Structure 1
Amino acid sequence: MTRINVMKPWLGAAEVQALTEVIESGWVAQGPRVARFEAVFAEAMQAGHAVATSNCTTALHLALVVVGVERGDEVIVPSFSFIATANAPTYVGARPVFADVDRTTGNLTAATVAAAITSRTRAVIVVDQGGVPVDLDSIRSLCDPLHIPVIEDAACGAGSTYRGRPVGAGADIAAWSFHPRKLLTTGEGGMLTTSRADWAARARRLREHSMSVSANDRQASVLAPPEVYGEIGFNYRMTDLQAAIGIVQLGRLASIIERRRALALRYTRALSEVPGLRPVTDPEWGTSNFQSYWVEVGPEFGTDRDGAMKALARADISARRGIMAAHRQPAYRKDANPPLPVTDHLTDHTLILPLYHDLAESDQDRVIAALLSAAELQTEGAA
């Protein structure tokens, strides 16, 4: 019996060939492949502009800078998210204000955002958690009249749709991740997309120490022009090695989505009628890429979430606890936080099951059987 991991990236010979071509070109840092990746990603996501970065956290940081968030401001974020969503506002000296999420989707809603808005709110970061699209229009209908920019943390969202378009397409600015746990991977890496040319231009400068002359321009000139540093910038560049992989990965996206949604459907058919289990599903306004397939474990199941995880581990199956609650971590526990009952509930009662492109249906059946046996064994033990 072989171990079943919770995820595995889909990489192959095409990525190896792309890397080989970059190495042979002699240009491995940020250069023409990065520019190409930006162009094809912007087109695929129906975004006006794309700016490649070193990871999604740095893309979120740049997004906050270009929309004008400063020290002392407040930024509304979900606690129910990887901690980077809360960390990014702290990088600019702002205070992350945690808002609760919807129990079905795990995402912020207009109502939970409205409850957290104060006179110091300068931005809202919404998340397409686990690939489930956030209802962006309802939140923008609240924030736009107040001139509060909404930043979409689409780290998990590549391939998900919102009202018939890619997630992020309706956002003024969005951030993306290419970590190996995401559908598209470059090892590490991120992207900022925006409809505004001025924000994109500033983000390009900021990611490269705010130099007035780009690496491409310097390389193209025999006598490179002198650069000027107009403001404090950062070293948030992506390499051509990463971008070459990203271009190949983006070409695989349609196949990845088709396979993941087929596997998700198999899980849903097997688990949706099981007492005490509630699988994640598509919301009415869009479709999920199922970056994570999670189930809520209720008392009717016969064992709790941690008991289910232990049963899976005994079967050599790696699962994960549900999305973390940032407000319960030591880094943020010292802050005064409002009650977040749904976040607390989902963090304590959700379980992420294995899902990746190469997951064999026989292995998925093994996951399902091990999960169901967890409740049956617990019930027998209690009897």
Structure 2
Amino acid sequence: MRGSHIPAIRGGQPVRSSMLPYGRQWIDRDDCEAVMQVLRSDFLTTGPAIAQFEAKVASYVGAKYAVAFSSGTAALHAACHAAGIGAGDEVITSPFTFVATANAVLYTGARPVFADIDINTYNIDPLCIQHLITPHTKALLPVDYAGRPVDHDEIASIAKKNGLLVIEDAAHALGASYQGKRVGTLADMTMFSFHPVKAVTTGEGGVVTTDEAYLCERLRQFRSHGVTRDPAKCEHYEGAWYYEMQYLGVNARMTDIQAALGNSQMAKLDAFLRRRREIVRQYQIAFARVDGLITPPADDDAHAGWHLYAIRVAPERLKVGRKEIYDALRAENIGVNVHYIPVYKHPYYRQLGYSAGLCPVAEQCYDTVITLPLFPAMSNQDAEDVIEAVRKVFNYYVQHGHCRDSLS
């Protein structure tokens, strides 16, 4: 079913007969069998599959510890708690992200402070961070937009100079690297997401990696109601049955069902990343000379995970806005998307006192960005369909600049 009622341009026939989504999971027989083994076992949750999954993620990124959670959002919330963030604190983060990033700060009673982004990478601009630090700043929460690592050198320098922790939102960046080092070891804590459109999936799920034992312990205890069974940590240990709730945690435990899927998926991660990068190379070559289209920067010292392939519209060349291009591509059955609405522009954040104009570069990017389909299960023909549709739509608007009502 077509995602738009706007007719396809140049004669009315769309490039594709069915909608190609912007992202989709890849599940095979090995994944299904791994889940079935858990379903036939004694443990559906709090069992051995979770520890296996944590070990695989930690080993892959090179971190000492990994702690699994029911979702990426829960993982970020736990990281903020483990960092000691609370009421009266401020955390500097990017507005160009899904709302979960800033929400994790709000859950602790702290206040998100939004720093503008770099126009080329769409990642948080370290120069903007420096101007926002106050005595209330407790941590930095940068986001690896689309899987491209942030400027870790600059961010680490700022954090060290001001005594701040760095919590990296690497929901998009599993498998990415920065100057030869894998994301997952470059910040005090790093969160990865395992939503179905991410590099690998557990259905829903998240992991926080760290090299600090005390942070690992706080993460583990927080995900399970703030409860400990460790005799050495209990105030009044009574026996093998005994446990203590020492602070208000949450139930954010990953199930063994999720972890089993993750264990199977991790074996395919490198292959998934290779396929994403192949499609990106195909796109970069094809779009290099498309008038009115701005491609994302190529990999350099930051080897991206390429969770998203986000182009930008150059309205001065096209004479139309992003919406017209978006609608026209949807009419070609290319399931484009938009990532992201700046967080502070959402109604809830406006009620908290945030206002438009706070981060001009992020708003400019939002007004012009379009996410193209990119996922490992895409065939070469799928990628060619995307290329054909993008060229068709952009070339048309460069030549004609018609409003959407006249497309026929």
Could you tell me the TM-score, scaled by structure 1's length? 0.94
The 1-side partners of 2:42 and 2:60 are apart by 28
Give the aligned partner of residue 315 of structure 1.
332
Give the aligned partner of residue 217 of structure 1.
none
Q: Give the match's secondary structure for 2:227.
A: coil
1:355 and 2:374 matched: yes
Give the aligned partner of residue 186 of structure 2.
170
The 2-side partners of 1:134 and 1:169 are apart by 13
Please give the residue correspondences for 1:1-383 in structure 2 after superposition, counting only pairs within 5 Å. 1-213=17-229, 224-299=240-315, 300-301=317-318, 303-334=320-351, 335-336=353-354, 339-382=358-401
The 1-side partners of 2:299 and 2:397 are apart by 32
Q: Give the match's secondary structure for 2:228.
A: coil
Q: Please, which moves more after superposition, 252-261 or 313-322?
A: 313-322
The 2-side partners of 1:140 and 1:90 are apart by 23
For residue 102 of structure 1, report the CA deviation from its aligned partner: 0.4
Q: Deviations over 1:234-265 (max 9, x none)?
A: 10100000000101111111101111000000
Q: Cα gap change, 1:198/1:177 in structure 2, threshold over 3 Å: closer, same or farther? A: same
The 2-side partners of 1:280 and 1:382 are apart by 24
The 2-side partners of 1:276 and 1:133 are apart by 26
Count of residues in Structure 1 that have an aligned counterpart in Structure 2: 375
For residue 373 of structure 1, report the CA deviation from its aligned partner: 1.5
The 2-side partners of 1:68 and 1:252 are apart by 36
The 2-side partners of 1:381 and 1:354 are apart by 26
Compare relative contact order (CA 8 Å, sep 6+) and give the higher one, 1 or 2: 2
For residue 283 of structure 1, report the CA deviation from its aligned partner: 4.9
The 2-side partners of 1:8 and 1:197 are apart by 35
The 1-side partners of 2:318 and 2:185 are apart by 39
**4+ aligned runs moved over 6 Å, structure 1:** none
Q: Cα gap change, 1:187/1:382 in structure 2, threshold over 3 Å: closer, same or farther? A: closer
Q: Cα gap change, 1:46/1:293 in structure 2, threshold over 3 Å: closer, same or farther? A: same
Contact 1:311 1:371 in 2 (8 A): no
Q: Give the match's secondary structure for 2:168.
A: strand
Contact 1:303 1:375 in 2 (8 A): no
Q: Give the match's secondary structure for 2:268.
A: helix
Amino acid at match of 1:366: D
The 2-side partners of 1:141 and 1:25 are apart by 48
> What fraction of aligned residue pairs are identical, expressed as a percent?
35
For residue 281 of structure 1, report the CA deviation from its aligned partner: 2.4
Contact 1:55 1:189 in 2 (8 A): yes
Contact 1:270 1:368 in 2 (8 A): yes
Q: CA RMSD in A?
A: 1.6
Q: Deviations over 1:160-194 (max 9, x none)?
A: 11111211211111111001121111000000111
The 2-side partners of 1:74 and 1:382 are apart by 45
For residue 145 of structure 1, report the CA deviation from its aligned partner: 1.9
Amino acid at match of 1:161: S
Q: Please, which moves more after superposition, 373-382 or 360-369?
A: 373-382
Structure 2 unpaired stretches of 5+: 1-16, 231-238, 403-408
For residue 31 of structure 1, report the CA deviation from its aligned partner: 1.2
Contact 1:322 1:349 in 2 (8 A): no
Q: Give the match's secondary structure for 1:108.
A: coil
Contact 2:90 2:113 in 1 (8 A): yes
For residue 379 of structure 1, report the CA deviation from its aligned partner: 4.4
Contact 1:133 1:283 in 2 (8 A): no
Give the aligned partner of residue 218 of structure 1.
none
Q: Deviations over 1:136-167 (max 9, x none)?
A: 12111011121111110011110111111211
Contact 1:28 1:240 in 2 (8 A): yes
Q: Give the match's secondary structure for 1:249.
A: helix
For residue 206 of structure 1, report the CA deviation from its aligned partner: 1.1
For residue 274 of structure 1, report the CA deviation from its aligned partner: 1.5
Q: Cα gap change, 1:382/1:131 in structure 2, threshold over 3 Å: closer, same or farther? A: closer
Could you tell me the TM-score, scaled by structure 2's length? 0.89
Q: Give the match's secondary structure for 1:51.
A: strand
The 1-side partners of 2:321 and 2:390 are apart by 11
